[in-house]
Amino acid sequence: MISDNIILATDSYKQSHHAMYQPGTEVVSSYFESRAGGEYPYCVFFGLQYLMDEHLSGAHRVTPAMIDEAEDLCRWHFGQELFNRRGWEHVVSAHDGRLPVSIRAAPEGSVIPESNVLFTIENTDPDCAWLTNHLETLLVQLWYPCTVATISREQKRTLKSALEKSGNPDNLAFMLHDFGYRGSSSSESAALGGAAHLVNFKGTDTIAGLRLLMAHYAAEEPGYSVPAAEHSTITAWGEDGELDAYRHILNRFHSGTVAVVSDSWNIFEACRQLWGRELRDEVADNRERTLVVRPDSGEPERVVVECLSILGEQFGHSVNGKGYKVLPDHVRLIQGDGITRHSLPGLCDAITGAGWSMDNMGFGSGGGLLNDCDRDTLR
Total residue length of the chain? 379
| pLDDT value of position 180 | 97
Per-residue pLDDT of the chain (379 residues; tens, 9 = 90+): 566 899 999 999 999 999 999 999 999 999 999 999 999 999 999 999 999 999 998 778 999 999 999 999 999 999 999 999 999 999 999 999 999 999 999 999 999 999 999 999 999 999 999 999 999 999 999 999 999 999 999 999 999 999 999 999 999 999 999 999 999 999 999 999 999 999 999 999 999 999 999 999 999 999 999 999 999 999 999 999 999 999 999 999 999 999 999 999 999 999 999 999 999 999 999 999 999 999 999 999 999 999 999 999 999 999 999 999 999 999 999 999 999 999 999 999 999 999 999 999 999 999 999 999 999 999 8
- What is the dihedral sign for C-alpha 125, 126, 130, 136? positive
- What is the dihedral sign for C-alpha 238, 277, 292, 253? negative
CATH of 12-134, one of 1.10.10.10, 3.40.50.300, 3.20.140.10, 1.10.3230.20: 3.20.140.10
| pLDDT value of position 97 | 97
CATH 3.20.140.10 in the chain, residue ranges? 12-134
The number of beta carbons lying within 10 Å of the beta carbon of residue 353 is: 11
| pLDDT value of position 59 | 78
| pLDDT value of position 60 | 86
| pLDDT value of position 1 | 56
Q: How far is CA 203 from the centre of its chain?
A: 11
Q: Torsion angle, CA of 123/126/130/135, rounded to 10 degrees?
A: -20
Distance CA 379, CA 371 (A): 16
Distance CA 346, CA 333 (A): 17
Task: Write out the DSSP string of 1-47.
Answer: -TTS-TTTSS-GGGGGGGGTSPTT----EEEEE--TTSSSSEEE---
- What is the dihedral sign for C-alpha 39, 43, 45, 46? negative
Q: If we measure between CA atoms, which residue out of 80, 127, 19, 99 comes closest to residue 71?
A: 80
CATH 3.20.20.70 in the chain, residue ranges? 146-370
Task: Quote the CATH superfamily of domain 146-370.
Answer: Aldolase class I (3.20.20.70)
Distance CA 353, CA 305 (A): 9
